[in-house]
Amino acid sequence: MIIMETDATQEQIAHVVKEVKKYGLRADVSKGAFRTVIGLVGDENKIPFSHFAALPGVKEAMGVEISYKLISREYAKFFEGVSEPRVVKVGSIEIGGSEPIFIAGPCAVESKTQLFRIAEGVKKAGAHILRGGIFKPRSSVHSFQGLGAGGWEMAEEALTWLSEAGRKFELPVVTEVRGENQVDLVAQYADILQIGARNMYDQDLLTGVAKKGKPVLFKRHFGAGIEEFLSFAEYIAAEGNKDIILCERGIIPVGKGKSYTRYTLDLAAVPAIQKETYLPIIVDPSHGTGRRDLIFNMSCAAIASGASGLMIEVHYDPAEALVDAQQMITPDELKDVVSTCRRIHNLTMAKKK
Amino acid sequence: MIIMETDATQEQIAHVVKEVKKYGLRADVSKGAFRTVIGLVGDENKIPFSHFAALPGVKEAMGVEISYKLISREYAKFFEGVSEPRVVKVGSIEIGGSEPIFIAGPCAVESKTQLFRIAEGVKKAGAHILRGGIFKPRSSVHSFQGLGAGGWEMAEEALTWLSEAGRKFELPVVTEVRGENQVDLVAQYADILQIGARNMYDQDLLTGVAKKGKPVLFKRHFGAGIEEFLSFAEYIAAEGNKDIILCERGIIPVGKGKSYTRYTLDLAAVPAIQKETYLPIIVDPSHGTGRRDLIFNMSCAAIASGASGLMIEVHYDPAEALVDAQQMITPDELKDVVSTCRRIHNLTMAKKK
Amino acid sequence: MIIMETDATQEQIAHVVKEVKKYGLRADVSKGAFRTVIGLVGDENKIPFSHFAALPGVKEAMGVEISYKLISREYAKFFEGVSEPRVVKVGSIEIGGSEPIFIAGPCAVESKTQLFRIAEGVKKAGAHILRGGIFKPRSSVHSFQGLGAGGWEMAEEALTWLSEAGRKFELPVVTEVRGENQVDLVAQYADILQIGARNMYDQDLLTGVAKKGKPVLFKRHFGAGIEEFLSFAEYIAAEGNKDIILCERGIIPVGKGKSYTRYTLDLAAVPAIQKETYLPIIVDPSHGTGRRDLIFNMSCAAIASGASGLMIEVHYDPAEALVDAQQMITPDELKDVVSTCRRIHNLTMAKKK
Amino acid sequence: MIIMETDATQEQIAHVVKEVKKYGLRADVSKGAFRTVIGLVGDENKIPFSHFAALPGVKEAMGVEISYKLISREYAKFFEGVSEPRVVKVGSIEIGGSEPIFIAGPCAVESKTQLFRIAEGVKKAGAHILRGGIFKPRSSVHSFQGLGAGGWEMAEEALTWLSEAGRKFELPVVTEVRGENQVDLVAQYADILQIGARNMYDQDLLTGVAKKGKPVLFKRHFGAGIEEFLSFAEYIAAEGNKDIILCERGIIPVGKGKSYTRYTLDLAAVPAIQKETYLPIIVDPSHGTGRRDLIFNMSCAAIASGASGLMIEVHYDPAEALVDAQQMITPDELKDVVSTCRRIHNLTMAKKK
């Protein structure tokens, strides 16, 4: 849609119409008493709106179509007649299926012993997938960056542990790929490749990871609106990989004074995103709140909002963890989360369409 | 705590210490290799931190104490030995008690017929309290501002309807007081006085409303962090009125691209606030999302997060409503919300401390 | 504009068209391959968009017209042929005229001596208008709330000082009206009535102040976008009072980690607002940054961005001030600001249209 | 600093003190009537605060030291006695020196002809450095991604043009490195390597780029506070490369209603950052506003705020540009910007310390 200035001339309107036609679209001109509005009919993706915004007499030029058509529920229904949500399969685990899925494990893999002990704990607590960070994104270069910082050999060894722990406890494993150069290595060991929140905008990394053909756990950046989040998920889909698990993990707190949580967990994004795309979405209450004492409540809330699963940081002794100690829960606490969340899921699913 | 510049001189440090003593506090000086930090011991509320920030050699001056001590859970426990949350009573209804409370009704009272029909509907659906706006805050002066805009007589008539509907259907009533001059009139008819989100910062209104001694439903401003929200609730408590029902109703969406919800419902604020204050907190998913199709999910999520109740806009024919049509649900839909939320509440309460 | 769902039926489209006509507008239907869009032609202010958003088959309903037509530059030009910016006159001072205007004084009036000493200082430094707060909005009820908190008599005495200082040093005076009950009193003494940022949304206060017919200094709320800011200025204009001086004073800092300024001074709002409205806009770098050491730079930047003036907190001994000590500058520093800003104004005005 | 809960026991306090000592720091215990605070004396970078936050009895654990000590002005002064800002040299151009530097050119390189014509234009207008994007980060995968998207050969050819244009018009050149795999190629041709706002958090890319030893133009992410921005610049410095040119380019607009600018240009960040670090900072008003009609004003404002230079998108025919057409200015307009900015710089520099 192109909105003209009130004093736009006939020539300026005609010029815009001509330009629209150049791009193969139809221009429907609506003349009001005060202002003329030009509707675009056709494939808006062909239109460089910033070009039109720069034409004389134009007040505003904006699209009404979405930029994530490959993962759009509405497009899938319209063009392919598909209205079911997508289920992403990892071995026998189904994300987006009839049961909520729990991904759990340490923030960072610190040693084989630590990892195996936690893996055993989360398995017993009812988790389906094991997480463990090897390449850790950190705000300070002076903080522990994960075992991956110890060189490729150390990284590969840690990946081996992850893979072994997964086999031993029958848990598919997920770990973050932080940079392009890590893609090949991580893809050899992990069942799901994670793109962290900080890398959501890194389109080269997205493309590289997508090409591996493995399921991608894709986290929303803390500065991204929903539209932007989905537009970047589209980069993965554009490589032909639609096994994308979206993950809400909190956005930047806004407001005067302290917020008391590390981020603002945007749970309404869960059902809002489910209206927009057929992809499954899970929630990470650990990073989303940054507070161990809020994990139980926010896990319940996330599942009640309709999330297909949770991603939770777990440690047998949270205070000992090298990273994120204040947001870890114990395997016992995880057990409570899993059992209550399952019951909430059953309650709410019955009512939801 | 006062953090000195690295090159602060001995004289500057001594001057700060002297100033601290003037205010009746003790100054504990910690000298590090790099920097000196001065801890303040005593009543921080006596300290004008901006004064200290302006002294020579000072890098930063900041308090570690909270500004909402009258409603603080930690203070209540420490000074009065009280650790139970407060239950606000309105007739036989208990907000913050063992059951979740549902406040429902039209966004704006439009006519006696409309109000009574909705009141009957929400009563049957299981609501406990009737809401209905008469003085409506609006972003545009050219929009319908509620019947209160029709003059004091019209306003009083609408208040009478509200009061009558409340009696008829045995529902205490709540309505918004938008300006100081409306306090006396509204307090004659309403059981609970509401301060809307836009007026959260209006301290004269808060004081005026608090003085009426009736329970106050106090909504968080969409630009306020939790600390600021509680600091303004303190204005009400400072008048000796602690019957305050806090209400989370969404904060400004942040992020590039569209957010797809009118506000960001900050559900983690619910348990976070419950750790800070003994006051009950409820959630308004109607304004918080602005979308009718998200109300069910977000109501469930709000209760799962630990909220003591919900405030929901209801209309027998949403599209007919003069205000907020797109976020109203029907009485039938409310019934589903009430029954599912009750069951979630029972599930989660068993587990929460 | 009304955007239909892709699977909207012919009946649903026809129903929307019928509804549009009910409100006296024309509906231009644009059918694309994928989606139908309905353009509204006529007075959009008559349209309750939330009603349309709630109709079956509708994906989104949104206006393209602005909600602040009374103060709109485009409307003024179109309907009245006026394209000049408005100059607000206070005695012989012209805000929005050919020279930048400097409003200066203490944050809070603390005593007659303090006020007169500062008034003399700012006059000598080149200020045109004297500011001084008597009713101070504060985040904590436990902080100093201005002399106005000492009762009506104290408030009136402080207002008398302000008025006397203004006469003595030939400076019109401005002070904040924080609540409706203060309007009559303050209007007796002040030449300009200020609405503070926290009260921007308080429409009853806006209406009350506007009715006094005196110039209104209207500050942007720290959580308000430009559109919302102007929509509330429209409340003042709707009372027939167009002597409105807009004031940008910083918005909520957004972003992970510390921001190092109290607010984010949105200087691009200055020229952006000047394109939207004919009203003059000034900048308050004191509140906007909260840092004395940034005032000079940000004053220069504000004038360079096109602001018609500045509002600056001044104290002969900043550290002594009871409120906002860390953001005050001295009269000598103000002098530098005034002289440099005047020269920048001359430089840039020559080039701007 | 570690703040204890009011009901923390002696044992809990003793345990915290013991833990602090483990990390080689001293613990200064301040007991107040209400609460105990433990000050940490020593190298805070050794402290995992999240570990302490997770200890029993601890309310809050937070550092008072900065995480960007390698680029800190205060540290440089304290440890090395250096208090001068750093000047980054690129050939004969000095960024952070006595004159403001203008970087200008097309948003995206589209063809050799386009690039050379614009290069000639910006040179004549007074620019010092030529910009031109080859690997373009875009929100939509369906938009033009720059010539770099055409494969490595096409990318290299475009880089050759850039390098040739630079030589021909005696302008050092800067272009963005969007992904790790592009580092080697781009470093062969560009004089300055740019990290775009979207990639600010991509620490592997930062490290890769830093290692090339060339000056790095480092843009602030639109969701990053100043502290976070500087913490990531530290990743570059940690590789021994301190030739970092910081760039403010706007943060996410916050606020209800439309903002009318693409981002919020945070000009107070300029002097605030100059107090924190010795690195030079420039401003990009093109992306910061997204509006061609605001470039002149905001360029003047940026220089007045103290910026060491500007980065501006220029095109001989803005409407023709494939990317960002609405925010481009012409070479003639650039000339006005350059000349007015130079005069403002002279005016304000005289006064600033």
D351 CB neighbours in chain C (<8 A) are: 296, 336, 340
User: Pairing mode, if any, of strands B36-41 and B26-31?
Assistant: antiparallel
Q: What is the pLDDT of residues C80-98, one digit of tens each?
A: 888 899 999 999 999 999 9
Residue C129 pLDDT > 80, yes or no? yes
3-state secondary structure (DSSP) of residue D32:
coil
Question: What distance in Å separates the CA atoms of residue B347 and residue C116, rounded to the nearest whole number?
Answer: 66
Residue A275 pLDDT > 80, yes or no? yes
Closest Cα to residue C171, out of C115, C91, C117?
Answer: C91
Contact present, D294 and C268 (Cβ < 8 Å)? yes
Give the chain A residue nearest D227 (alpha carbons): A139
Nearest CB to D261: which of C268, C288, C306? C268
Give the chain C residue nearest A74 (alpha carbons): C6
D232 CB neighbours in chain C (<8 A) are: none
CB pairs under 8 A between A and C: 70
Q: At what angle do helices C226-237 and C203-210 cross, to 10 degrees?
A: 40
CB atoms within 10 A of CB D150: 13
pLDDT of residue B311: 98
A8 CB neighbours in chain C (<8 A) are: none
User: What does each C-alpha distance from C13 to A73, C39, C57, C186 come to in angstroms?
Assistant: 21, 12, 7, 55
Mean pLDDT, residues C215-232 taken together: 96
pLDDT of residue A218: 98
Residue A257 pLDDT > 90, yes or no? no
Q: Which partners does chain B have (≥3 C-beta pairs < 8 Å)?
A: A, C, D
Question: What distance in Å separates the CA atoms of residue D26 and residue D110, rounded to the nearest whole number?
Answer: 60
Q: What is the pLDDT of residues A72-105, one digit of tens each?
A: 999 999 888 888 999 999 999 999 999 999 999 9
Residue A353 pLDDT > 70, yes or no? no
A201 CB neighbours in chain D (<8 A) are: 137, 198-199
Q: What is the pLDDT of residues A205-244, one digit of tens each?
A: 999 999 999 999 999 999 999 999 999 999 999 999 999 9
Nearest CB to B28: which of D30, D33, D256? D30
Mean pLDDT, residues C196-201 taken together: 97
CA distance B55 to chain C (A): 6
Question: What distance in Å separates the CA atoms of residue B249 and residue C326, rounded to the nearest whole number?
Answer: 34
Least confident of A142-151, B91-100, B240-249: A142-151
Residue C139 pLDDT > 80, yes or no? yes
pLDDT of residue A236: 98
Residue A43 pLDDT > 70, yes or no? yes
Tokens of B196: 């809307």
Q: What is the pLDDT of residues C153-163, one digit of tens each?
A: 999 999 999 99
User: Where is pLDDT greater, at A250 or A55?
Assistant: A250
Q: Do C251 and D264 lie within an 8 Å CB cutoff?
A: yes
Contact present, D307 and D97 (Cβ < 8 Å)? no
SS (H, E, C) A287-318: HHHCCHHHHHHHHHHHHHHCCCEEEEEECCCH
Q: Do B271 and A257 lie within an 8 Å CB cutoff?
A: no
CA distance C150 to chain B (A): 14
Question: What distance in Å separates the CA atoms of residue A291 and residue A308, rounded to the nearest whole number?
Answer: 22
pLDDT of residue D269: 98
Mean pLDDT, residues C137-153 taken together: 91
| Beta strand residue intervals within A133-172, DSSP E | none
Q: Do C64 and A139 lie within an 8 Å CB cutoff?
A: no
pLDDT of residue D64: 77
Contact present, C28 and A31 (Cβ < 8 Å)? no
Contact present, C296 and C339 (Cβ < 8 Å)? no
pLDDT of residue B197: 97
C227 CB neighbours in chain A (<8 A) are: none
B232 CB neighbours in chain C (<8 A) are: 139
The 8-class DSSP code of residue C256 comes to B
Closest Cα to residue B257, out of A264, A74, D262, A217?
Answer: D262
3-state secondary structure (DSSP) of residue C127:
coil
Please give the ipTM for the structure prediction.
0.94
Contact present, C227 and C66 (Cβ < 8 Å)? yes
Sequence-distant (6+) residues with CB within 8 A of C345 are: C99, C100, C303
3-state secondary structure (DSSP) of residue C259:
coil
Contact present, B175 and B191 (Cβ < 8 Å)? no
DSSP string, D102-123: EEEE-SB---HHHHHHHHHHHH
pLDDT of residue D310: 98
Confidence of residue A323 (pLDDT cuts 50, 70, 90): confident
CA distance D298 to chain C (A): 6
Contact present, B59 and B34 (Cβ < 8 Å)? no
| Cα-to-chain-centroid distance, residue C123 | 24
Q: Do B30 and D41 lie within an 8 Å CB cutoff?
A: yes
Tokens of B171: 């529902």
DSSP string, B150-217: G-HHHHHHHHHHHHHHHHHTT--EEEE--SGGGHHHHHHH-SEEEE-GGGTT-HHHHHHHHTT-S-EE
Closest Cα to residue C104, out of C136, C135, C127, C88?
Answer: C127
DSSP element (H, E) containing C186: helix C183-189
Torsion of CA D167, D168, D169, D175, to 10 degrees: -50
Question: What distance in Å separates the CA atoms of residue A191 and residue A163, rounded to the nearest whole number?
Answer: 9
Residue among A50, A70, A209, A236 with most chain D CBs within 10 A, to mutate:
A50
Sequence-distant (6+) residues with CB within 8 A of A97 are: A87, A308
Residue C352 pLDDT > 70, yes or no? no
Closest Cα to residue A229, out of A49, A67, A43?
Answer: A67
Sequence-distant (6+) residues with CB within 8 A of C213 are: C241
Contact present, C273 and D258 (Cβ < 8 Å)? no
- Does the model's pTM come out above 0.90? yes
Residue among D264, D276, D283, D342 with most chain C CBs within 10 A, to mutate:
D264
Contact present, C298 and D270 (Cβ < 8 Å)? no
Q: At what angle do helices D331-351 and D112-125 cross, to 10 degrees?
A: 40
User: Which residues of chain D, if any, have pLDDT below 50?
Assistant: 353
pLDDT of residue D352: 61
CB atoms within 10 A of CB C350: 8
The sheet with strand D36-41 has its strands ordered as D26-31, D36-41, D2-4, D58-61
